[in-house]
Amino acid sequence: MKSNLLLALTAIAAAAVPVVHAAGTGPSGMPGDYPRPGDKGVMRPSKEAKPPIQPPAEAPPIALALEAAQAIVKGCDKDKIGVAVTNSAGEPILTYIPDGSDSHHVYTGIRKAYTAITFKVPTSALVAKAQQDADFAAKIQADPNLIAYKGGVLLKAGDRIVGAIAVSGSDHDEDCALIGVRAIESRLK
């Protein structure tokens, strides 16, 4: 019940709130994350111009993202996982926390998906590179939103990257993420 409510609230928020994309990133370094509005979260009259609304980045339809997340949870039902789906800019469009799972897994999932988008490869391809290449490891370590752990995979429509999906909390995160990819890949446009 908790995961259904959280999922519903996430989907409603994603559909109802227009996403404003500005050049660069917000204070956390994640695309789409901006500082609290107003005066540090307190609404004040403002005459500041609002940034222009940019078209959203390409993304899988929310219904397919949800279907992928549910397929993952069903296929990896013995694990306490979190699932994150991002658009092609690495911005989260759906987070899914099944009943009994720790919410921190979804934050790790967002980082894995963002990392896959950033480097345009599954994050499993980055694990050995980070272990063997000190400069690359330093790049990962310098950005708190990059992570060289298995579990982040790209979502593609043909050769176009339309997003990423990631799983955290399992001993086989990438295998779980691939369940979601297989569930929707033929319908990605």
**Is the pLDDT assigned to residue 155 strictly greater than 70?**
yes
Which residues fall within 8 angstroms of residue 73, CB to CB, at 6 or more apart?
A: 81, 83, 96, 98
The answer to whether residues 66 and 7 touch, using CB atoms and an 8 Å cutoff, is yes
16 domain-assigned: no
Residues in a beta bridge with 132: none
- Each residue's pLDDT tens digit, 9-60: 344 334 333 333 334 455 566 666 666 666 666 766 666 667 778 888 999 9
Q: What pLDDT, on a 0 to 100 scale, did the predictor assign at position 52?
A: 78
Q: What is the CATH number of the domain that holds 76?
A: 3.30.450.150
74 domain-assigned: yes
Q: What pLDDT, on a 0 to 100 scale, did the predictor assign at position 20?
A: 36
6 domain-assigned: no
What 3-state DSSP class applies to 120? coil
Global confidence as pTM: 0.78
22 domain-assigned: no
- Residue ranges making up the domain that contains 153: 62-187
Q: How confident is the model at residue 170 (pLDDT cuts 50, 70, 90)?
A: very high
54 domain-assigned: no
Domains in the chain, number: 1
158 domain-assigned: yes
Which residues fall within 8 angstroms of residue 24, CB to CB, at 6 or more apart?
A: none
Q: What pLDDT, on a 0 to 100 scale, did the predictor assign at position 35?
A: 65
- Each residue's pLDDT tens digit, 99-152: 999 999 999 999 999 999 999 999 999 999 999 999 999 999 999 999 999 999
Sign of torsion, CA 60 66 69 70? Answer: negative
Q: What pLDDT, on a 0 to 100 scale, did the predictor assign at position 175?
A: 98
**Is the pLDDT assigned to residue 8 strictly greater than 80?**
no
- Each residue's pLDDT tens digit, 47-84: 666 777 888 899 999 999 999 999 999 999 999 999 99
What is the average pLDDT value for the chain, to the nearest integer?
A: 85
Q: What pLDDT, on a 0 to 100 scale, did the predictor assign at position 3?
A: 46
Q: What pLDDT, on a 0 to 100 scale, did the predictor assign at position 36?
A: 60
167 domain-assigned: yes
72 domain-assigned: yes
